[in-house]
Amino acid sequence: MLNLAVCVSGGGTNLQAIIDAIDGGSITNTRITAVISNNAGAYALERAKSRGIEAACISPKQFGSREEFNQAFLEKLDSYQPDLVVLAGFLVVLPEMMIKKYKDRIINIHPSLIPSFCGKGYYGLKVHEGALKRGVKVTGATVHFVDEGTDTGPILLQQPVAVEPGDTPETLQRRVMEQAEWKILPKAIDLIANGKVRVEGGKALVSE
Ligand code: GAR
């Protein structure tokens, strides 16, 4: 059984997609051990609580320095002994010691086709603003393993999504979520839970 810790910062629709996929049986051999937020007001915490899932909040505001926050965050995460850490709209830069400790055991969902519209400054709606500004006709989402860089780790799954005439960042964000994120994040978890993914030579290899 794969124990997940899901890290969130906001609405938690990707968390909901994971919960629904576990309930519906499209993710197997998996349970969500805990949901951790950096933001006490995150609706994602309510989604977790309403399903009886342990929900914790650790905010940088509770600590005098970034180092203290990082330490507390890592201790909290370790206390759940997760097999896999899922960043589902988690908008905090991870401490390096956490990335090292959980090497090849952290995945992130990013709302573009990496390497487009990713890296520092590209998160949430800003990604879609960038895509519309550039005039791309196709965008999408990517699930990747997390390494020390920003959105640079091995790519596990990608799903393209068409940009439509008249799209706003909000309409595009919604379509990318519906057509890509809520599908490939649960799928990635199921593949990992069933031993179908390995990371080799900086690449994520899938055997279905
Ligand atoms: C999602 O679109 C996710 O891809 C994005 O934040 C949103 C969270 O929504 N993540 C990033 O931009 C990470 N760089 P949610 O809280 O409803 O799942």
Q: For position 166, what pLDDT does the model report?
A: 97
The predicted-structure confidence for 124-154, as pLDDT tens digits, reads as follows 999 999 999 999 999 999 999 999 999 999 9
Q: Which residue CA neighbors atom 12 of ligand 1 most closely?
A: 123
Q: For position 208, what pLDDT does the model report?
A: 76
Q: For position 71, what pLDDT does the model report?
A: 95
Q: Which residue CA neighbors atom 10 of ligand 1 most closely?
A: 89
Q: Do residues 82 and 3 make contact, with C-beta atoms less than 8 angstroms apart?
A: yes
Beta strands per DSSP E along 38-165? 55-57, 84-87, 106-110, 138-145, 155-162
Task: Tell me the average confidence (pLDDT) per consecutive run of 10 residues in the chain, 208 residues long.
Answer: 98 98 98 97 98 97 95 97 98 94 98 98 97 98 97 98 98 98 98 98 94
SS3 135: coil
Beta carbon of 130 within 6 Å of any ligand 1 atom: no
Index of the ligand 1 atom closest to the CA of residue 177: 2
Index of the ligand 1 atom closest to the CA of residue 127: 12
Q: Kindly tell me the burial class for residue 70, based on how many C-beta atoms sit within 10 Å of its own C-beta (0-12, 13-18, 19 or more).
A: buried
Q: Is 110 a catalytic residue?
A: yes
For a ligand 1 pocket test, name from 123, 129, 184 the mutation site with the most ligand atoms within 8 angstroms of its C-beta.
123
Q: Do residues 48 and 15 make contact, with C-beta atoms less than 8 angstroms apart?
A: yes
pTM of the model: 0.97
Q: For position 173, what pLDDT does the model report?
A: 98
**How many whole angstroms separate alpha carbon 121 and alpha carbon 108?**
16
Size (the chain), residues? 208
Beta carbon of 60 within 6 Å of any ligand 1 atom: no
